[in-house]
Amino acid sequence: MTPIEMSIDSSCESTAAFATPASKRAANRAFGRGGLLSVNTISTLTIIILLVVWWATTTAGLIAPLFLPSPQAVVGKFWLVATKGFMDSTLGQHLAASLGRVLCALIVAVVLAIPTGIAIGLSRIAQGILDPLIELYRPVPPLAYLPLIVIWFGIGELSKVLLIFLAIYAPIAIATASGVRQVSPNRLRAAQSLGATRVQLLRYVVLPSAVPDILTGVRIGLGTGWSTLVAAELVAATSGLGFMVQSAAQFLVTDVVILGIGVIAIIAFALELSLRAVSRRLAPWREQGIS
């Protein structure tokens, strides 16, 4: 371990001394977060109650199956779509197509957005050039520039991945720039006093300090990109969860629509939990309330 890393680690450890379990429990009680039931238990009970209400409503015939099919009908359709398929593809093939597009867009966005955010956070010139460009397109809904993307890049896979990429790119770049700007000046001065070069400052101080913000940007960007999936698969797609939902809606196959929405939600939740685990692994001090 280099002297720079040792200095940073010692400062983190000294800060951690103030974040004792007793103080965390006191804070939880002060804000009403303490109780007999954990957050996971409450969340599980909420989902169970929602499913029971759904089952009771459809069983009592309060809503026609065309508008809201029963949970057992959706489960039965799940098995049918998973084995025999829907619109010439099984559920696994639709899922693989959608995940491939989103993950490809995510990888490209991470590779390009993190250097962009670092440049914006460190350089006044880069901020003046890149920040307005990002802020100009970021508030625009993906469906608004979808026709332009089709005109420029056609109706192939590139246009679909590009649309998702644009939805993911901005949150990561903005979060990275914010994390870089919030690096502690004390850490920078401590590293400089040990003779750190600009490259070492970036590697051992700036990037580790910005990791929590970068991961937050990835989580937000992935959620935005996953929600853009349906819009991306409107463009001459032959497979994908968004394509499956849109096709089922056109033919009023409501159980497939609900099935597709459910799968999209479950996959999004699984990706969010995965990113939380990565965040706990790479930035444990953020989970412990240490800045």
Ramachandran angles phi, psi of 17, nearest 5°: -65, -25
Amino acid 23: pLDDT:
55
How would DSSP label each residue in 186-216? HHHHHHHHTT--HHHHIIIIIHHHHHHHHHH
Choose between 31 and 242: higher pLDDT. Answer: 242
**The tokens of 206 are what?**
């700036």
Amino acid 231: pLDDT:
81
Amino acid 17: pLDDT:
46
**The tokens of 217 are what?**
């940007």
Amino acid 26: pLDDT:
55
**Residue 16's pLDDT band (boundaries 50, 70, 90)?**
very low
* Mean of pLDDT values over 48-64: 94
Averaged confidence pLDDT in the chain: 86
Q: Is 183 helix (H, G, I), strand (E, B) or coil?
A: coil
* Mean of pLDDT values over 32-57: 86
Does residue 180 contact residue 122 with C-beta atoms inside 8 Å? yes
**Residue 24's pLDDT band (boundaries 50, 70, 90)?**
low
Does residue 5 contact residue 201 with C-beta atoms inside 8 Å? no
Amino acid 12: pLDDT:
47
